[in-house]
Amino acid sequence: MRIKFLFSLLLSAIFIFSAGHCEAGLYPGGKFKFTLPFGKKYNYNNILVTRVIDGDTIELKSRERVRLIGIDTPETYLGPKLERDSERTKRDYKTIIAMGKRATAFTKKLVDRKTVRLEFDIEKKDRYGRLLAYVYLPDGRMLNAEIVKEGFAQVYTFQPNVKYVELFKKLQKEAREDKKGLWGE
């Protein structure tokens, strides 16, 4: 009796945990199939972006969030980082949030609902569990670089993930000199 209870409890926990994270469909011949995500491997060379969270964070079809390596865009909501950015830049919250919304719109225009390729550096995840990646658009351009190049982000690197830091610094310098994106404000 106790084993049946524990088994049903385990099955219930798996069902609750996997709600919204499972796949169901039909096998050929009409038989029902149900699979859980445990151990599921995703092809990061060809994966759909389902949502742009902000200018430097996206969400994939796998429901994983990706933090773009090497760049930082302005915040779009109130929080400790917005406070730090405001103190550092001497800009008010409203201005920073407006800039963050512009950066988010730029990122969305480039990548939302598109299939991308991820390139990882030394560390694959950050302390929040987000994937850390360089994201490549269908035409081969690197999203991280495009955002910096057009002036919607600044270089923001953490060791050991610094593979393209020199490229990002060069693009940021050019964007500032040309007063592109946020540098024109």
Residue-wise pLDDT for 134-148, tens only, equals 999 999 999 999 999
- CATH number for 47-184: choose from 1.20.120.140, 3.30.70.1450, 2.30.30.90, 2.40.50.90: 2.40.50.90
Task: Please give the model's pTM, rounded to 2 decimal places.
Answer: 0.77
- 4 or 22, higher pLDDT: 4
Instruction: Find the mean pLDDT for residues 122-151.
Output: 97
Residues assigned a catalytic role? 67, 75, 130
In this structure, are residues 69 and 62 in contact, taking their beta carbons and an 8 Å threshold? no
Residues 82-106 pLDDT 10s: 999 899 888 899 999 999 999 999 9
163 token code pair: 């593979």
Q: To the nearest whole percent, how much of the chain has pLDDT over 70?
A: 78
Euclidean distance between CA atoms 51 and 34, whole angstroms: 25
In this structure, are residues 55 and 152 in contact, taking their beta carbons and an 8 Å threshold? yes
DSSP for residue 38:
T
